[in-house]
Structure 1
Amino acid sequence: MHKFEKVGQDFYGVRTPSEIKSIFGGRCPRCGHELGIPTLNDIKINLKKKATKVMVLEQLR
């Protein structure tokens, strides 16, 4: 679920890398390193391992 966080916001969801870069003036707010915009080769998708169910059976007394 997405929400508007400020007046004038015109989108829902995650901001783009260029929006983040302009918000912080092109620099990382923590270390001051210059921010770049990732290319398609920089993006990696990792699949989660399939969850396995563990069932604990109690013995009836």
Structure 2
Amino acid sequence: MYKFDKVGQDFYGVRTPSEIKTIFGGKCPRCGHELSTPTLEDIKIKVKAKITPVIE
């Protein structure tokens, strides 16, 4: 089940950086720093280490 928080919302899931920037007026709500949209060079993907279960 998905919850739509506002009129006109036509998606569910994670918001895009552009949507977040628009929601907060282009500034971080905590510190006031100017928000920017990341470029492909800014995005880093890290592989999480696989945990092996211990069988006793």
TM-score, normalization by structure 2: 0.86
Question: Where does the alignment leave 5 or more consecutive residues of structure 1 unmatched?
Answer: 57-61
Q: For residue 10 of structure 2, what is the amino acid of its counterpart?
A: D
Once superposed, which parts of structure 1, at least 4 consecutive aligned residues long, lie more than 6 Å away?
none
Question: Where does the alignment leave 5 or more consecutive residues of structure 2 unmatched?
Answer: none
How far, CA to CA, are the matches of 2:23 and 2:50 in structure 1? 37
Q: Percent identity?
A: 69
1:3 is matched with 2
TM-score, normalization by structure 1: 0.80
1:11-54 deviations in whole A, cap 9, x for unaligned?
11111100000000000000000000000000000001111111
2:23 is matched with 23
| Contact 2:21 2:27 (C-alpha < 8 Å) held by counterparts | yes
| Aligned residue pair count | 55
CA RMSD of aligned residues (A): 1.4
How far, CA to CA, are the matches of 1:14 and 1:53 in structure 2? 31
